[in-house]
Amino acid sequence: MLNTKNKLLIILFATTFWNVGAQTKIELSPREKPVTISKHIYGHFAEHLGRCIYDGFYVGEDNTAIPHTNGVRNDVVAALKELQIPNLRWPGGCFADTYHWKDGIGPKEKRPAIVNNWWGGVTEDNSFGTHDFLDMCELLETEPYLAGNVGSGEVQELADWVQYVNFEGRSPMSDLRRQNGREKPWKVKFWGVGNEAWGCGGHMTAEYYSDIYRKYATFMSDWSNTGGLYRIASGANSADYHWTETLMKKLPKNLVKGIALHHYAVIDWNKKGPAIEYTDEQYFRTMKSAWFMNELVEKHSAIMDKYDPNKEIALVVDEWGGWYEVEPGTNPGFLYQQNTMRDAMIAGMTLNIFNNHADRVKMANLAQTINVLQAVILTKGEKMITTPTYHVMEMYKVHQDAELIPLAIDSKSFVWNDEAIPAVSASASKAKDGKTYLSLVNIDPKANQDVEINLGKAFSGVSGRVLTSKELRDFNDFDAPQRIAPRPFDGSKLNKERLHVSLPPFSVVVLALDEQ
């Protein structure tokens, strides 16, 4: 039987064991009032841009080389269902404010062609329209998020679109829908009222857009009596806090459910740097820009808290991701870029930020799904591959609709010259399967990070997966589609309520903890 002195020595030994070499310390502390990490944080974005829609999602009903369902690639559908994507934003982006939805309904041979002035100046034949997109969302088992045309469209046009897709009774628009082959409405919940109104959506001031929003939102009627439309206002460009302040002051709560925010991890808008052969300095600057998302979310949320202390209006980050120069030899307007381990770092860090602010961030959309910017899927003819970003999203899906476990983190810094950002980010949740999940990211490209975690209570077991590679600039391509993929992780040691994790350089780790 141990005496008091021996017990004290054991406690001191255990404390010393967990503190030795620990560079980062994390403490989990469940809150009294639970917060759910909305699954809609894990949304995606599909714009009529480059090869995202055509040659990405859609290969045409007459294609005999690629297996498809009504023109939509079956391999893409399977891959996105594996991610459990909760929503998909369409048709833009900048394209949304030049898109007239009636051009994309009815017999395809009779649909008018337009020029995509924003993205490459290519001719758009409108063969992929409202029915095609909403039917595809049913295949994907995901909710559609439609971005309405406010920049060049009229109020009646947007009101008609809502009626066309949502009204079950007799009306001019619902009758037109039936004429075009769809009896039941799709019941679309999520609606963007314009896009980037401060820029490609009309170069408006915040004050002017607020009035325009009120007008358009008023005539977007809903007849389902199931809680109404989820109207999302075109929000700020990165650190434009005046825009958020103005919208929160001027928009009535009965007309708005969410306010958007757009921010990309970019080194310099005039010199974005390459997607693959980036320098160490360019890597650091990309990570610094990605980490800036944390400050943006906190500062925009603080403004929203002044006017909406009960957090009834969501912050919707419906465009985020890395943005680099296009791949050599590709159309500059198509925004096709390769996806390396740097992109996995952006994805893991950003999703941790969103999770940790789940009381205000209720929805987000990675830009974009296929062949554009930080894509989760790349296609080339009959071939399709998934990217490092895809694998992060798949690993993190355990957080969807789970209960957030707040945490405090004291991280070692990732330093470049005289600048520094945290090397480690993390988020935690308790899922409906009873397990506690912990996601950890080490963005340092050269150093392991030893992390000591106080779990707050004892657990009986731990397992996990890691995403990393031999080189930071590694990527999956059509000749080596599985070069980067998750694998089992054995770098954690559990001692009841203490967890020690050794994170490899540039890695994403997701751990599952079993209750006692």
Helices 130-140 and 74-83, packing angle to 10 deg: 50
CB 49, CB 368: distance < 8 Å: yes
Please answer whether residues 368 and 324 qualify as being in contact, where contact means their C-beta atoms are separated by less than 8 angstroms. Answer: no
Query: What tokens does 253 get?
Result: 């709560």
Please state, in angstroms and rounded to a whole number, the distance separating the CA atoms of residues 335 and 51: 9
Q: Is 319 part of the annotated catalytic residue set?
A: yes
How far is the C-alpha of 499 from the C-alpha of 479, rounded, in Å?
39
Q: What angle do CA 341, 401, 25 make, to 5 degrees?
A: 55
* Spatial contact of 467 and 344, defined as CB atoms under 8 Å apart: yes
Instruction: Compute the chain's Rg from CA coordinates.
Output: 24
Kindly name the residue from 196, 394, 403, 452 that is annotated as catalytic.
Answer: 196
- Could you give the count of Cα atoms lying within 13 Å of 364 in the half-sphere of its Cβ? 27
Taking the C-alpha atoms of residue 516 and residue 512, their distance in angstroms, rounded to an integer, is 13
Closest CA to 58 of 108, 118, 116: 108
Does residue 168 have an active-site annotation? no
Report which of 9, 185, 154, 86 is spatially closest to residue 402, judged by C-alpha positions.
86
Strand 314-322 to 361-367 pairing: parallel
From the list 124, 143, 319, 403, the catalytic residue is: 319
Active site residues: 196, 319
